Amino acid sequence: MVDKAEWVAGWVAVNSLRWQYARDKWIKFKGTDKLAKYVLLILVTLFAIQLVRGVRRIKNSRRDSEVTKENMIVCDYCHVHFPQSEKVVFQGRVFCSKDHQREFNG
């Protein structure tokens, strides 16, 4: 069985080697290919902009859907539910269209 101190020492050694490898790769990347670094920076920036736009679009669509809510009423002729803004009222009765109002009276 491995002693806790040995395990910690091994973990520190492995992770320090990982960081050293990553640092060496970054230094090579940093020194040799500036164009790739700028392209990566531009891609990250574009991704962040798209992310912000997506969040704004979601917030706006939620706000728009809340604004368009409307009461529904029932036609006295066909008994179909329809938005209150489309109603046709005749002699105290509510209809979904002028055709149904005419047929009801006719």
Place of tokens 């979904």: 96
User: 3-class DSSP state for residue 90?
Assistant: strand
Q: Which structural domain, as residue segments, surrounds residue 55?
A: 4-67
Q: Check whether residue 29 and residue 57 sit in a common domain.
A: yes
Total domain count, the chain: 2
Q: Check whether residue 63 and residue 77 sit in a common domain.
A: no
pLDDT mean across residues, the chain = 81
Q: Check whether residue 17 and residue 48 sit in a common domain.
A: yes
Q: Check whether residue 30 and residue 82 sit in a common domain.
A: no
Q: Check whether residue 22 and residue 51 sit in a common domain.
A: yes
Which pLDDT band holds residue 19 (cuts at 50, 70, 90)? confident
pLDDT tens figures, 67-103: 667 889 999 999 999 988 888 998 889 999 999 888 8
Longest dimension (CA), the chain: 97
Q: Check whether residue 34 and residue 81 sit in a common domain.
A: no
- For residue 76, the tally of other CB atoms under 10 A from its CB is 15
> Whole-prediction pTM value?
0.38
pLDDT more than 70, % of the chain: 83
Q: Check whether residue 52 and residue 80 sit in a common domain.
A: no
pLDDT at 6 over 90: no
Q: Check whether residue 9 and residue 54 sit in a common domain.
A: yes
Q: Check whether residue 15 and residue 53 sit in a common domain.
A: yes
- Please tell me the distance from the alpha carbon of residue 64 to that of residue 75, in angstroms, as a whole number: 27
